[in-house]
């Protein structure tokens, strides 16, 4: 299988983590979605890795960080269609 033929496999039954993240992003194209929300819908602790997989499959996904006054950094993703 080459890089353009990525297949996402779920463990057990149901959609894979990539499928769930991709579906959530596609539900609101162009809108920023918090990484924490993507983690919650997918169960993926490494959301950035699953987003990388989705990018390799051809999805155009942007990422931004927001630096908050309390010193925390919040990450957001959006899909461009």
| Per-residue pLDDT tens over the stretch 29-58 | 999 999 999 999 999 999 999 999 999 999
pTM of structure? 0.81
Strand spans (E) along the chain: 33-34, 60-67, 73-80
CB distance 54 to 21 below 8 Å: yes
**43 Rama sector, left if φ>0, alpha if ψ -120 to 50, beta otherwise:** left
- Rounded Cα distance between 3 and 48, Å, is 18
Phi/psi of residue 60, nearest 5 degrees: -95, 105
- What pLDDT is recorded for position 35? 97
Check: CATH 1.10.10.10 for 17-80? yes
First vs last C-alpha separation in the chain: 26
């Amino acid at each position: 299988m080459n890089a353009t033929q990525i297949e996402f496999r779920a463990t057990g039954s149901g959609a894979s983590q990539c499928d769930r993240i991709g579906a959530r992003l596609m539900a609101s194209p162009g809108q920023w979605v918090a990484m924490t929300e993507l983690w919650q819908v997918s169960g993926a602790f490494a959301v950035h890795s699953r987003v990388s997989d989705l990018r390799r499959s051809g999805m155009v996904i942007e990422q931004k960080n927001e630096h908050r006054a309390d010193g925390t950094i919040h990450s957001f993703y959006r899909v461009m269609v």
